[in-house]
Every structure is written in structure tokens, then in C-alpha cells.
């Protein structure tokens, strides 16, 4: 690996660096546990320091991790040029050979820094992946419902049966249409055919909802299920189900991994703005989260499966393993909230963390039960049933019933977190619950009740919570976009 020119020097007692087989006994340098640094405005910040790597002769720090406790922000200082790839010196043989020899170690250090110390989830690129093959989609549901939707969308179509969405062009292909190949930007949807690997019989046998999930667009591979919905008012309850996504996304523009075995769907929900839910539309993501957990727990025998909710939009197995998430994008058109809900859940896939059916297997072994695995088609049906049930519950002015179930599942009662004020000062607070719009209600050390929201932190929404200038008594107006 390439080091900073002033970093490594031979010991005064030796004219060369030590070798691996030599026993070098040099007392190590003990850096301070913390250091105070002033910013440009003269404000003092105290960083906690941790040495991650040392030089072999003097044992002076080569890699240091600095953490700002009040915000959780982290910096890595390195005397090793980890950014230098051997290929940068492919025409300088001696440098290229030396760097190539240590390249595996360089990448191992990089992986450790990013994954362990900075909490960044990494994808392996050690194996070449096959090129993506996009597939056509299939329009499922009662024939007359499909035709009604297509007729209603006729004026919005650019050409016959073609809709231009925000990121995708979709073409509804009737029986006489010869479809063009699917791609990342074009999706042919077969109106009169059924897919080979999605059981419409099992799906509709489990579906009891009146509207949600009654029409489905199913595909094996597409860019993102959200891309099929974003751009038009399509149909209340229209679902998009996909086996694999190439550009799945999560909260705060995170990439959502879509391994085989995960259950992925998007759902368009229309909520009038003058209704109970319409006036507090940011509650919708919590409603969907509750519906996912209650869909499993409402099955006979599955009541004690340990599924939880982490605010604002994560599904957890137990207290510390994330297995799913929810994203909601809302657009207001006239007097209607057009809400596109995206959900990803580990159903059969053991990686990257854990999955529902593994949890069921463990439960069966621990308690000598024989609960069946949740099938792919059954999962979507029971979740759509529950979402519609909770929509009806809230719209019937029974939000207390919803909140009771929400708090039954969530992880945060009496949890202590740190909140940042607009001026940058921090305060330890206790989580009480959520307010009318789904933001966190917390109690400060002086007993003041505040409403707080995430600062956009990518990896942990409960780190770096921001307290607005107003207290809870000054209610927040409902945002047009779900946070």
C-alpha cells in the first residue's frame, strides 16, 4: 500500500524497517482519548478518538476514527493512501507490482472501515454479475376492471395504450399487439395473459379486500415498482408486484437491495384531502407498517411471532434485525392525495439480514409448532387486506384503535435519544409516542413536550433528531410529502 511520504521512517536505532519475522519491541504512542476542535465560527467541538491502525516501528497511529458524540458524525484520518488503486500505476512496473501485492489488504481495510466503523452496507463485486434481463409485466384482475381503468386513462395516453410515467414508459399490450422488448425505461404489460410463476388462483383466494390489490401489475424483473406508478393518477388500490428490482429505493434516496426471495410491491392509494386521514396523510406510512405486522399476527398460530416497528418506517424481527421497510411518496392533485406506497420485506431470502420464514422456522423449533411457511402470493393478499382494514378504521374516526395497535408493535416506549436544536445544542429526551401527523413526541429534561423529526440521517433515523423551534403545543401542519 502507498503511505504518506512523511508517515513511515526507520527507527533511529535501525537503518531499515523491521521484517515480519523480527520481534520489534518499541513502546507504543498513546494518543489522547479526545480532542477539541474549533469550527470556523469559533465554536468548540469535542471529538472522541480511536486508533484503528498503527505503524509497525514506532507504533504511531496510521488510521484514526474521530466521532462527534453529540451528532454521531464520524471522520476517518488515514496516513495510508487507501484510495490508490494499483491500476493507477499500470505503466510503472515496480509500483504496480508492489501495490498489487498488497491490494487485497487495502480492500480488506476499506471494507472494515466502511462496514464496521461507518455502518455502510456493502455489495460484493468479486463476482461478475450476469447482465440484467428485463421482463414484460402482466395485468391481473377481473377483465372488466382492467378495461375500465384503461378506458379512464385513455386521455392521458400519448399513443394507443401507452403511458409516459416519470421514469418509465409503459405499454398495455392487448391480444393483437406485438410487444417491444422490456428495458429499464420501457415496460410492456400483457393485458390478456398470465405469468408462469405467480399463482393468480392462490393470490385471489386469499384476497378479501374490496379495492386494494384487486388490480395487479406483476413482473419478474423491472427497474422499480414505484416507477410504474409515479407520474399519473392511475387507480385506487392498483398494486405493482415484482420479483426483482434493479433500482429499488428506500428512504432518503437509499438504495433498497432486492435479492431473490424478498417480497416487493408498490400500491397506489387515493385519499381525499378533506377526510380524517387526508388531513394527516403522513400517518399513512405508519398505517402500512402496522398492516404488515398485523397481517402476520392475525393468522391463527402466528400471534406470537416477534415482529416489531421502528419509527418511522422499518419492520424489525425482534429488537435489532431489520427485515423490511416502507416508503410513501405523496402528490396532491386537486382535492385528492395520490399516495404511492413502496414496501420491501425479506420473505424467503436469508440475506442480507433475516427473513420472515426463517423466523417461522425458528419459532416452530423453539415451541414445537408446525406453522406453515407464508407463500409469496399469500403474503401480498393478506397485507393488502390489512391495509384496507386499517384505512377503513382511521377513516371511520377510530384512530385510537390504530394507535393502540401501533404502540403494541413499536420499539421505542420510554427510549432515551438525543435531540439537536436549531442552534446546534443537544438535549437528552425520552420518547413518548407520535403526534397527530406521525412525528415523534418527546419529553425534555425540563419536562417540555416537543415534536421532533429526522435530520435525514441515512443509517439510523433516531440519531440526530431535530427539534423545531416550536414546542408540541404549536402543531405542525401536515406536510405534502411523507417524511
Lowest mean pLDDT among 10-14, 112-116, 339-343, 398-402: 10-14
Runs of H (alpha helix) within 177-283: 200-206, 225-229
Q: Is the pLDDT of residue 424 over 70?
A: no
Higher-scoring residue by pLDDT: 109, 286: 286
How many Å apart are CA 81 and CA 297, to the nearest integer?
52
Decide if 366 contacts 198 (C-beta within 8 A): no
Looking up cell 410463476 gives 197
Query: In this predicted model, what pLDDT tens digit does every residue of 403-415 receive, in sequence order?
Result: 999 999 998 877 8
Residue 265: CB atoms within 10 A of its CB come to 21
| 437 DSSP β-pair partners | none
Boundary residue ending a domain (409, 437, 458):
409
pLDDT over 50 at 198, yes or no: yes
pTM over 0.85, yes/no: no
- pLDDT beyond 70 at 368: yes
Q: Which of 264, 408, 239, 432 is nearest to 349 (CA)?
A: 264
| C-alpha dihedral (76, 79, 85, 87), degrees to nearest 10 | 160
Per the CB < 8 A criterion, the answer to whether 161 and 153 are in contact is no
Residue 132 lies in a domain: no
- Average pLDDT rounded to a whole number, residues 167-186: 92
Q: Which residue, 118, 147, 181, sits at the end of a domain?
A: 118
| Phi, psi dihedral angles at 220 (to 5 degrees) | -75, -45
Instruction: Indicate whether 11 pLDDT > 50.
Output: no
Q: Is pLDDT above 50 for 171?
A: yes
Q: Report the C-alpha dihedral over residues 330, 333, 337, 339, rounded to 10 degrees.
A: -40
Q: Using the 3D structure, point to which of 118, 148, 175 is the last residue of a domain.
A: 118
Q: How many helices (H) does the chain have, and how many strands (E)?
A: 9, 20
Is residue 83 located within the same domain as residue 44?
A: yes
Q: Is 390 left (phi over 0), alpha (psi -120 to 50) or beta?
A: alpha
Residue 146 falls within a domain, yes or no? yes
Check whether residue 222 and residue 310 sit in a common domain.
yes
In a domain, 3, yes or no: no
Q: Are residues 146 and 79 in the same domain?
A: no
Separation CA 69–CA 53 (nearest Å): 21
The CA distance from 282 to 286, in Å, is 8
Please give the pLDDT value at position 276.
Answer: 96
438 Cβ neighbours under 8 A, 6+ residues apart:
280, 282, 283, 285, 286, 312, 483
Rounded CA separation 446/348 (Å): 47
Calculate what percentage of the chain has a pLDDT beyond 90.
49
Please indicate, yes or no, whether residues 454 and 374 belong to a single structural domain of this protein: no
pLDDT in tens, 332-354: 988 999 999 999 999 998 777 78
Give CA torsion, residues 268, 274, 279, 281, to 10 deg.
Answer: 0
Helix (H) or strand (E) holding 383: helix 376-395
Residue with the bigger pLDDT between 425 and 293: it is 293
Instruction: Report which of 218, 211, 222, 227 is spatially closest to residue 163, judged by C-alpha positions.
Output: 227
CA dist., res. 457 & res. 420, Å (int) = 13
| 314 shares a domain with 405 | yes
In a domain, 231, yes or no: yes
Asked if 262 and 205 sit in the same domain, the reply is yes
Residues 246 and 146 in one domain: yes
Same domain, 169 and 261: yes
Per-residue model confidence (pLDDT) at position 78: 85
Which residues touch 261 (CB under 8 Å, ≥6 apart)? 346, 347, 348, 349, 350, 355
Domain span at residue 46 reads 34-118
The three grid cell numbers given for residue 436, joined into one nine-digit string = 397527530
Residues 64 and 209 in one domain: no
Q: Which long-range contacts (CB under 8 A, 24 or more apart) does 139-145 make?
A: 139/172, 139/189, 139/190, 139/191, 139/215, 139/216, 139/217, 140/194, 140/198, 140/200, 140/203, 140/215, 140/216, 140/217, 140/218, 141/214, 141/215, 141/216, 142/214, 145/214, 145/215
Taking each helix axis from N to C end, the angle separating 376-395 and 284-297, rounded to the nearest 10 degrees, works out to 130
Query: Where does the pLDDT of residue 220 fall: very low under 50, low under 70, confident under 90, or very high at 90 and above?
Result: very high
State residue 476's pLDDT score.
29
- Interval 263-283 mean pLDDT: 96
Tell me if 245 is assigned to some domain.
Answer: yes
For the ranges 73-87, 226-240, 346-360, the one whose mean pLDDT is highest: 226-240
Torsion sign, CA atoms 324, 262, 404, 329: positive
* Rama region for 152: left / alpha / beta (φ>0; ψ in -120 to 50; rest): alpha
Residues 253, 145 within the same domain: yes
pLDDT tens per residue across span 106-145: 877 878 788 778 877 766 655 555 677 999 999 999 999 9
Q: Are 81 and 95 in contact (CB under 8 A)?
A: no
Is 186 a member of any domain? Answer: yes
Give the residue with greater pLDDT, 264 vs 33.
Answer: 264
Number of domains in the chain: 3
Is residue 317 domain-resident? yes
- The whole-number average pLDDT for the span 393-398 is 96
- Average pLDDT, stretch 12-31? 53
Residue with cell 412525528: 439
Q: CA 55, CA 108: separation in Å to the nearest integer?
A: 17
Q: Are residues 143 and 181 in the same domain?
A: yes
Look at residue 428 and tell me if it is in a domain.
yes
**Mean model confidence pLDDT for the chain:** 83
Residue 397 sits in the same domain as residue 328 = yes
Amino acid at each position: 500500500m502507498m503511505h504518506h511520504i512523511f508517515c513511515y521512517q526507520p527507527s533511529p536505532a535501525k537503518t531499515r524497517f523491521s521484517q515480519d519475522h523480527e520481534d520489534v519491541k518499541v513502546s507504543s504512542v498513546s494518543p489522547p482519548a479526545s480532542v477539541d476542535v474549533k469550527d470556523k465560527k469559533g465554536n468548540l467541538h469535542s471529538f472522541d478518538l480511536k486508533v484503528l491502525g498503527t505503524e509497525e516501528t514506532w507504533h504511531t497511529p496510521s488510521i484514526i476514527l474521530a466521532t462527534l458524540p453529540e451528532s454521531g458524525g464520524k471522520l476517518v484520518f488515514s496516513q495510508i493512501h487507501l484510495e490508490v488503486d494499483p491500476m493507477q500505476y499500470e505503466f510503472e512496473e515496480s509500483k504496480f507490482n508492489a501495490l498489487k501485492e498488497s491490494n487485497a489488504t487495502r480492500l480488506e481495510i476499506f471494507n472494515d472501515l466502511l462496514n464496521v466503523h461507518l455502518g455502510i452496507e456493502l455489495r460484493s463485486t468479486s463476482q461478475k454479475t450476469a447482465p440484467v434481463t428485463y421482463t414484460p409485466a402482466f395485468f391481473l384482475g377481473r377483465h372488466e376492471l382492467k378495461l375500465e381503468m384503461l378506458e379512464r386513462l385513455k386521455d392521458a395516453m400519448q399513443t394507443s395504450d401507452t403511458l409516459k410515467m416519470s421514469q418509465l414508459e409503459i405499454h398495455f399490450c392487448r391480444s393483437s399487439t406485438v410487444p417491444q422488448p422490456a428495458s429499464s425505461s420501457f415496460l410492456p404489460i400483457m393485458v390478456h395473459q398470465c405469468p408462469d410463476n405467480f399463482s393468480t388462483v392462490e393470490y385471489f383466494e386469499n384476497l378479501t379486500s374490496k379495492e386494494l390489490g384487486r388490480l395487479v401489475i406483476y413482473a419478474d424483473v423491472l427497474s422499480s415498482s414505484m416507477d410504474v406508478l409515479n407520474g399519473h393518477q392511475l387507480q385506487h388500490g392498483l398494486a405493482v408486484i415484482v420479483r426483482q428490482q434493479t433500482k429499488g429505493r428506500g428512504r432518503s434516496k437509499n438504495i433498497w437491495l432486492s435479492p431473490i426471495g424478498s417480497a416487493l410491491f408498490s400500491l397506489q392509494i387515493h385519499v381525499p384531502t378533506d377526510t380524517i386521514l387526508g388531513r394527516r396523510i403522513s400517518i399513512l406510512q405508519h398505517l402500512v407498517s402496522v398492516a404488515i405486522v398485523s397481517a402476520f399476527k392475525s393468522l391463527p398460530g402466528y400471534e406470537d411471532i416477534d415482529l416489531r416497528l421502528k419509527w418511522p418506517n422499518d419492520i424489525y424481527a425482534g429488537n435489532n434485525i431489520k427485515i423490511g421497510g416502507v416508503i410513501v411518496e405523496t402528490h396532491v392533485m386537486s382535492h385528492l392525495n395520490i399516495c404511492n406506497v413502496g414496501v420491501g420485506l425479506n420473505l424467503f431470502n436469508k440475506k442480507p439480514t433475516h427473513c420472515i420464514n426463517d423466523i417461522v422456522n425458528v419459532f416452530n423449533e423453539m415451541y414445537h409448532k408446525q406453522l406453515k411457511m407464508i407463500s409469496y402470493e399469500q403474503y401480498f393478499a393478506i397485507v393488502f387486506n390489512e391495509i384496507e382494514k386499517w384505512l377503513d378504521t382511521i377513516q371511520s374516526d377510530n384512530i385510537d384503535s390504530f394507535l393502540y395497535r401501533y404502540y403494541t408493535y413499536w420499539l421505542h416506549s420510554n427510549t432515551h435519544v438525543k435531540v439537536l436544536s436549531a442552534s446546534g445544542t443537544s438535549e437528552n429526551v425520552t420518547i413518548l409516542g407520535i403526534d397527530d401527523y406521525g412525528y415523534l413526541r418527546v419529553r425534555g429534561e425540563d419536562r417540555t413536550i416537543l415534536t421532533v423529526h429526522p435530520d435525514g440521517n441515512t443509517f439510523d433515523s433516531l440519531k440526530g433528531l431535530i427539534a423545531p423551534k416550536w414546542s408540541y403545543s404549536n402543531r405542525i401542519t401536515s406536510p405534502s410529502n411523507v417524511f
